Amino acid sequence: MKLTILGCYSATPRTFTNPTSQVLEVKNHLFLIDCGEGTQVQLRKFKVKFSRINHIFISHLHGDHFFGLPGLVSTFRLLGRERELHIYGPKGIKEAITLFLKLGDSWTNFPLIFHELKSKESELIFDDDVVSVSTIPLNHRVYTNGFLFKEKPVPRRLNINAVDEFDIETSQFKAIKNGADGVQKNGTVVPNQKLTDAPPKPKSYAFCSDTMYNEAILPLITNADTLYHESTFLQSEERLCEKTKHSTARQAAKIAKKAQVGNLILGHYSTRYKSIESFREEALEVFPKVELADDGKTFEI
Amino acid sequence: MKLTILGCYSATPRTFTNPTSQVLEVKNHLFLIDCGEGTQVQLRKFKVKFSRINHIFISHLHGDHFFGLPGLVSTFRLLGRERELHIYGPKGIKEAITLFLKLGDSWTNFPLIFHELKSKESELIFDDDVVSVSTIPLNHRVYTNGFLFKEKPVPRRLNINAVDEFDIETSQFKAIKNGADGVQKNGTVVPNQKLTDAPPKPKSYAFCSDTMYNEAILPLITNADTLYHESTFLQSEERLCEKTKHSTARQAAKIAKKAQVGNLILGHYSTRYKSIESFREEALEVFPKVELADDGKTFEI
Question: Looking at this predicted complex, what is its ipTM?
Answer: 0.90
Is B67 close to A74, i.e. CB distance below 8 A?
yes
Chain B contact present for A78, CB below 8 A: yes
Element (DSSP H or E) covering residue A22: strand A21-26
Is A15 close to B95, i.e. CB distance below 8 A?
no
The pairing of strands A53-57 and A85-90 is parallel
Chain A contact present for B271, CB below 8 A: no
pLDDT of res. B108 = 86
Is B99 close to A103, i.e. CB distance below 8 A?
no
Instruction: In chain A, count H helices and then E strands.
Output: 11, 18
Q: Count Cβ neighbours within 10 Å for each residue of A16-49 and write b for 16 or more, e otherwise.
A: ebbbbbbbbbbeebbbbbbbbbbbbbbbbbbebe
Tally the residues of chain A: 301
Chain B contact present for A7, CB below 8 A: no
Cα→Cα distances A273→A10, A295, B80, Å:
11, 16, 19
pLDDT of res. A133 = 98
Chain B residues with beta carbon closer than 8 angstroms to that of A45: 15
Rounded Cα gap, residues B192 and B183, in angstroms: 10
pLDDT in tens, chain B (301 residues): 999 999 999 988 888 899 999 999 999 999 999 999 999 999 999 999 989 999 999 999 999 999 999 999 999 999 999 999 999 999 999 999 999 999 988 888 899 999 999 999 999 999 999 999 999 999 999 999 999 999 999 889 999 999 999 999 999 999 999 999 999 999 999 999 999 999 989 999 999 999 999 999 999 999 999 999 999 999 999 999 999 999 999 999 999 999 999 999 999 999 999 999 999 999 999 999 999 999 999 999 9
B36-87 pLDDT tens trace: 999 999 999 999 998 999 999 999 999 999 999 999 999 999 999 999 999 9
pTM of the full structure: 0.92
Chain B residues with beta carbon closer than 8 angstroms to that of A105: 141-142
pLDDT of res. B115 = 98
Cis bond before residue B210 (omega within 30° of 0): yes
Chain A residues with beta carbon closer than 8 angstroms to that of B46: none
Helix-, strand-, coil-residue percentages of chain B, each rounded to 5: 30, 30, 45
Is A99 close to B99, i.e. CB distance below 8 A?
yes
Is A74 close to B41, i.e. CB distance below 8 A?
no
Instruction: Identify the segments of chain A with pLDDT beneath 50.
Output: none
Residue B148 · residue B123 · CB < 8 Å: no
pLDDT of res. B11 = 85
Cα→Cα distances B137→A246, A279, A295, B90, B218, Å:
47, 53, 42, 11, 11
Rounded to a whole number, what is the distance in angstroms from the first to the last CA of chain A? 5
pLDDT of res. A107 = 82
Distance from CA of A53 to the nearest CA of B (A): 17
